[in-house]
Amino acid sequence: MAKPPQEPRVAEVVMLIQWVAIEIPTERLAEIVNTVAPVPLTQRLLELALLKQPGVLEGRHSNVPVTVQDLAHALVAEGASRVVLPTCESCGRAVRMPHKTPSGGRRCSRCERNARSVACATCDRVRPVQRTIDGKRYCRECWRADPRSFDHCSRCGQRATIVVRRPGLVCLACYTAPIKTCGLCGEPGRVASHLDGRRVCARCYYAMRTPQPCPECGRKVFLTGFMNAQKVCADCAGAPITMACPGCGSIEEVRKHRLCAECRRPITIQRLLCDETDDIRPELQPLADYLLTHHGKANSLERWHHKSKCAAVLRELAEGTLPLAADAIITRAQSGQSVAFLLSLLVRSGVLPELDVEAARFDHWFEKWLSEVGHAEDRLVLRRYCTWELLRSTRAFRAVSRGPSNPAAGFQRQRAALKHCAALLHEIRSQHETLATFPQRRLDAFLTDSPSQRDALAPFTRWLRRHHLSTLRVEFRPSRLEGRHYESDHRWQMARRFLTDTDMDSKTRAAGLLVLLYGIQLTRIITLTRDQVDATSQPVKLTIGAEPIELPKVLGDAIIDLVDASMRHPEGWLFPGRNPGLHLTPGPISRRLRAEGLRSGSARTTALIELTRQMHPRIVSDLLGITPASAAAWSRLASGDWSDYPKIRSASD
């Protein structure tokens, strides 16, 4: 005969606990009991535990059932001051304790696992016992490798390690963990581990293998502990450190394939540069040393090894199938970014001699591109123009430039200019004309409204006239400073946002404030080095021109963060780039600023107009490192009148 169904016992449990939880209303106590014991059978067991152990909620008993533990934690969370949380007999933590001890107390899952750990009969490591045979205890790893654990799987029929024996034999490959509700995220998933008596799904378990900021201490480490209903680090939870790298003991690096990323760095480099004899060629040894000490993140190095086209080229260099020469590498790599990165890496590490990487890339491109130009006379004109005009002007500009320039951008402009020149020569040939006979009116009809076309053809036609090859003329665009600019209020509104936004990273904050406050171009911001920063002074000083600038505290702190980060780079760039030894290009910084709603060109225009309105152009020139003529032009655009300034300044001096 079936047993009669259990009756709900919520009211009876509430009567037993309301005297120790007088701060909580009766209705709320009923909700707590329903949450802790949702079915009548559990409610009856909870009632019996409270009746048999008077004062159990006040800490008078050591053997506290799990349901009573859950009730005590729920009452304390609601503010019950008389309730005492039960603690683990071994570690003293107030956590869930599902295990009984021989002395009549309770202990948590961690202490239970440690108590059952003994020296493995095979590996001698103190680990939890997986199997005991003839008095010998084996850990899980050793038992799974032991032939005695092998049998024929009932699902696949293979002879393999058996992990489940009831109701049928199931091998490790066929076994799938049961789907249960995760004790951390509350979502259903396959159980991967247990933490303090709580099931941990695979998503939460593998998330533990990635360092995250601890909500208690703020350190970015593995969160393998549980406290106050949230994942915390082992130190804050008072638990032993788990998941530490067996190589270095670190809990701050991503774990991959047993070791952390830093410990795998030498393995990754060996696999990348070794030849068929598993040795690194002597000429590539400097590159191995450089990657071991100078490459920033070991995790990105391993990702680069598996996915980058450069890694495939390096493998060919290591195997000896590709000559260790710049021309061969440029021809093989093909992709412009891959070539620039790889050559910069080889030059910086000392494998290749000092080399102008961008110039070598341009020379290789020019020879290939010029061979595709149809007519021999056009090829001759373009070669002479490129050699004696474009490249010479580029080298002269880089020689007299006040600061480091961006060679890649300069050669990119030269490529575009040569393509426009080749298009003009092709147009002349298609109309059965020559440079000497092509009329000006047809050139005017050929021109479009493209600024880049005019910027390319104006110096080309000037060079043609100088060498008496043609009388064609394309006028240069007038140089004007006018342009879109912010209203002053909008500029300061943006500046306040960059000064007060605590979530903004240091690179974006520093670049944005240098544009908003001082009108500095992004092409100059990215070339700043730590030698230009005086971090010992208060406030922090930054030297851009002839005189240093005292920075606001927020901007100074951001610059100091960049200085600290640049210590890993011997070149000293505050904005280090992707290619070894080079600084960042303006594009990534510009995109960051646009994502924050800041257009650098408009902000710079407004800043320089207001600065030259408030200060004499000579002072602006000394502070910002722009030419006096440019500062005077900005002053005229701002409608400033400083005609009496030299007289006043000399009198005050």
User: Residue 43 has what pLDDT?
Assistant: 87
User: Residue 240 has what pLDDT?
Assistant: 66
The tokens describing 470, both together, are: 């043609």
Which residues lie below 8 Å from residue 551, measured CB to CB, with a gap of 6+? 539, 540, 541, 542, 559
CB atoms within 10 A of CB 595: 9
User: Residue 421 has what pLDDT?
Assistant: 92
User: Residue 80 has what pLDDT?
Assistant: 86
User: Residue 482 has what pLDDT?
Assistant: 45
Average pLDDT for residues 587-612, to the nearest whole number?
A: 84
The answer, yes or no, to whether the previous bond of 580 is cis (omega within 30 of 0) is no
What is the pLDDT confidence band of residue 652, given thresholds at 50, 70 and 90? very low
> At 95, phi and psi to the nearest 5?
-125, 175
What is the pLDDT confidence band of residue 653, given thresholds at 50, 70 and 90? very low
pLDDT tens track for 33-83: 888 888 888 888 888 988 888 888 888 888 899 889 889 888 888 888 888
User: Residue 651 has what pLDDT?
Assistant: 43
User: Residue 483 has what pLDDT?
Assistant: 45
Which residues lie below 8 Å from residue 130, measured CB to CB, with a gap of 6+? 138, 139, 140, 142, 143, 144
Distance, CA of 432 to CA of 435 (rounded, Å):
10
User: Residue 624 has what pLDDT?
Assistant: 83
Considering only CA atoms, which of 580, 537, 578 is closest in space to residue 559?
Answer: 537
Strands of 484-529, DSSP E: none
User: Residue 422 has what pLDDT?
Assistant: 92
Would the pLDDT of 408 be above 80?
Answer: no
Do the Cβ atoms of 109 and 98 come closer than 8 Å?
yes
Question: How many angstroms from the chain centroid is the CA of residue 199?
Answer: 31
Strands of 224-375, DSSP E: 225-227, 230-232, 255-256, 259-260
User: Residue 3 has what pLDDT?
Assistant: 56
The DSSP string of 25-80 is: -HHHHHHHHHHH--SHHHHHHHHHHHHHSTTGGGT--S---HHHHHHHHHHHHTT-
Would the pLDDT of 256 be above 60?
Answer: yes
What is the Cα Rg of the chain in Å?
37
Give the type of residue at 126: V
Would the pLDDT of 581 be above 80?
Answer: no
CA distances from 471 to 23, 120, 147, 434, 456 (A): 99, 93, 92, 11, 17
User: Residue 290 has what pLDDT?
Assistant: 83
In this predicted structure, which of 8-22, 229-243, 473-487 has the lowest mean pLDDT?
473-487
Would the pLDDT of 499 be above 80?
Answer: yes
> At 135, phi and psi to the nearest 5?
80, 0
Average pLDDT for residues 500-523, to the nearest whole number?
A: 86
According to DSSP, residue 8 is labeled P
pLDDT tens track for 330-352: 888 777 677 778 888 888 888 88
Considering only CA atoms, which of 59, 82, 79, 78 is closest in space to residue 69?
Answer: 59
According to DSSP, residue 284 is labeled G
CB atoms within 10 A of CB 465: 12
pLDDT tens track for 357-395: 788 888 888 888 999 988 899 999 999 998 888 877 766
Do the Cβ atoms of 567 and 332 come closer than 8 Å?
no
User: Residue 197 has what pLDDT?
Assistant: 62
In this predicted structure, which of 22-36, 112-126, 427-441 has the lowest mean pLDDT?
112-126
According to DSSP, residue 585 is labeled P
Tell if the pTM clears 0.85, that is, is over it.
no
Would the pLDDT of 486 be above 60?
Answer: no
What is the pLDDT confidence band of residue 401, given thresholds at 50, 70 and 90? very low
Considering only CA atoms, which of 165, 258, 247 is closest in space to residue 209?
Answer: 258
Four-point Cα dihedral 197, 202, 204, 210, nearest 10: 120
Average pLDDT for residues 241-248, to the nearest whole number?
A: 73
48 vs 252, residue with greater confidence: 48
What is the pLDDT confidence band of residue 640, given thresholds at 50, 70 and 90? low
Would the pLDDT of 645 be above 50?
Answer: no
